Amino acid sequence: MKKVYLGVLAVFILILSACDSNEANGEKNSANGDGSGESIALFMADLGNPYFHVLSDSVEKRGEELGYEVIVYDGQNNPSSQPAQIEDAIQKGVSAIIINPGDESSTANALKEAISQGIPVVTVDRAVDLDGILSYIVTDNTSGGEMAGEWLQEYLPDGGKVVHIEGVMGTAPQRERGGGFLSIIDSVDSNFEIIDTVVGDFSMAPAEAAMSDLLAKHDDIDVVFAQNDIMAVGAVRAIETAGRLDDGIVVIGFDGSQEAFDLIDEGKMHSTAVQDFEYQGTEAVDIVDAYLKDGTEPDPEILVDVYMYDQDSN
């Protein structure tokens, strides 16, 4: 009996991994370059998230313009799949690596191998804990938080009562986005008052629950600042559920996700701080290009500004 189960299990695993390898190895080559034969490997943490396609598309586009072949690998939201993909790319003899790592550490050893072979590595949106990375391009979360605060000051010049929904406590985006926002809104000469701060863990359900609690507690909330868009979407849902859409609570998010754009266009949400992935992708290729052509060393860390999207942005 036991053997039958094990047999079934083995077959199951085989089928699964077969499915998986079909997709994971399905990297696609884009552009054919100008015959220089130079290629850039682009490793994306998760192309399942439509939001990240903006980044990969911009790398492909810029690479094409400069005559590189761009090979795109998709980590499918599984950081442990990236090291093997990197080794694969090293074997292929790529000239440079642009990576959006799934986490800070999984790819360190594989990238070390690449760096030791003289392949320049640029990380985008997330750092890798490793010496020798050519450059690290990331959203300037602090200035993004400040811009959200400045947008709010302009939108409600008379001030109001603000609820702050934090992301996962202790992470860099949580500290920086919140810090930037509070530096404007919670300052001495601000007309705004932070009446409550809750944790939404950068995800929808906890943010929705916390917002429901706050709606039960206060009947005079003017503003919600959520540190990412999916939490803002959760807050809007809580406001909807509580039948308080008519309160006209101003909801501000961060990221620039499609869901947020839709809610802003419907008038249920009011603005979001958009991370400029198009610029980040283009910049990554330009850095690699300059380094390959004449050894230009870029800044080790490049902070990219966000911009605000609101109803007037259409």
Q: Which of 40, 124, 147, 214 binds another protein (CB under 8 A)?
A: 214
Least distance in Å: CB of 15 to another protein? 12
Least distance in Å: CB of 208 to another protein? 6
Q: Which of 140, 208, 276, 283 binds another protein (CB under 8 A)?
A: 208
Least distance in Å: CB of 122 to another protein? 24
Q: Which of 94, 148, 230, 288 binds another protein (CB under 8 A)?
A: 230
Applying CB under 8 A, the span of 46-54, 86-94, 98-106, 297-305 interacting with another protein comes to 46-54
Applying CB under 8 A, the span of 143-151, 154-162, 204-212, 279-287 interacting with another protein comes to 204-212
Identity of the residue, 78 or 190, whose beta carbon is nearer to another protein in the bound complex: 78
Site track 132-161 with another protein (rule: CB under 8 A), x = hit:
------------------------------
Identity of the residue, 76 or 190, whose beta carbon is nearer to another protein in the bound complex: 76
Q: CA-to-CA distance for 163 and 223, rounded, in angstroms?
A: 6
Total chain residues near another protein (CB under 8 A): 33
What is the Cα gyration radius of the chain? Answer: 22
Contact between 216 and another protein by CB under 8 A: the answer reads yes
Instruction: Report 167-196 residues binding another protein (CB under 8 A).
Output: 169, 196
Q: Which of 233, 251, 269, 288 binds another protein (CB under 8 A)?
A: 233
Q: CA-to-CA distance for 206 and 199, rounded, in angstroms?
A: 8
Least distance in Å: CB of 300 to another protein? 30
Contact between 289 and another protein by CB under 8 A: the answer reads no
Contact between 234 and another protein by CB under 8 A: the answer reads yes
Q: CA-to-CA distance for 12 and 143, rounded, in angstroms?
A: 49
Identity of the residue, 22 or 91, whose beta carbon is nearer to another protein in the bound complex: 22
Q: CA-to-CA distance for 41 and 121, rounded, in angstroms?
A: 10
Is the alpha carbon torsion for 107, 110, 114, 116 positive or negative? positive
Identify the residue whose tokens are 């283009």: 282
Contact between 3 and another protein by CB under 8 A: the answer reads no
Identity of the residue, 160 or 298, whose beta carbon is nearer to another protein in the bound complex: 160
Applying CB under 8 A, the span of 106-114, 133-141, 227-235, 271-279 interacting with another protein comes to 227-235
DSSP string, the chain: -HHHHHHHHHHHHHHHHHHHHHHHT--EEE--TTSS--EEEEEES-TTSGGGHHHHHHHHHHHHHTT-EEEEEE-TT-GGGHHHHHHHHHHHT-SEEEE--SSSSTTHHHHHHHHHTT--EEEESS--S-TT-SEEEEE-HHHHHHHHHHHHHHH-TT-EEEEEEE-STTSHHHHHHHHHHHHHHTSTT-SEEEEEEEE-TTSHHHHHHHHHHHHHH-S---EEEESSHHHHHHHHHHHHHTT-GGG--EEEEEE--HHHHHHHHHTSS-EEEEE-HHHHHHHHHHHHHHHHHH-----SEEEE-EEEEEGGG-
Q: Which of 15, 205, 245, 290 binds another protein (CB under 8 A)?
A: 205
Please report, as ranges, the residues that interact with another protein according to CB under 8 A: 1-2, 5, 46, 48-50, 76-77, 166, 169, 196-199, 203-205, 208-210, 212-217, 230, 233-234, 237, 241, 259
